[in-house]
């Protein structure tokens, strides 16, 4: 039973790391676009989108 749980644990860790490294460039691109177009300041200054 211990080996089965260890296999399951290593498999889940490996899949999690694989997903993180697979979508890491996407997160970098998203953060770069947010910083480039100053969307952080826009969302912080305008939490509600609508007529004033």
Rounded percentage of the chain residues whose pLDDT exceeds 70:
73
| Structural domain count, the chain | 1
- Is 52 part of a structural domain of the chain? no
- Is 51 part of a structural domain of the chain? no
The whole-model pTM stands at 0.41
Could you list the residue range(s) of the whole structural domain that residue 6 is in? 2-45
- Is 30 part of a structural domain of the chain? yes
| Residue with the two structure tokens 């300041």 | 41
* pLDDT number for residue 48: 62
* pLDDT number for residue 16: 93
Lowest mean pLDDT among 14-23, 26-35, 41-50: 41-50
* pLDDT number for residue 39: 67
Torsion sign (Cα): 39, 45, 50, 52: negative
- Is 50 part of a structural domain of the chain? no
Average the pLDDT over 2-25 and give the result. Answer: 90
């Amino acid at each position: 039973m211990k080996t089965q749980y260890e296999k399951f644990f290593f498999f889940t860790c490996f899949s999690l790391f694989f997903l993180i490294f697979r979508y890491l460039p996407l997160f970098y691109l998203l953060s770069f676009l947010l910083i480039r177009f100053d969307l952080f300041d826009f969302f912080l200054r305008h939490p509600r989108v609508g007529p004033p």
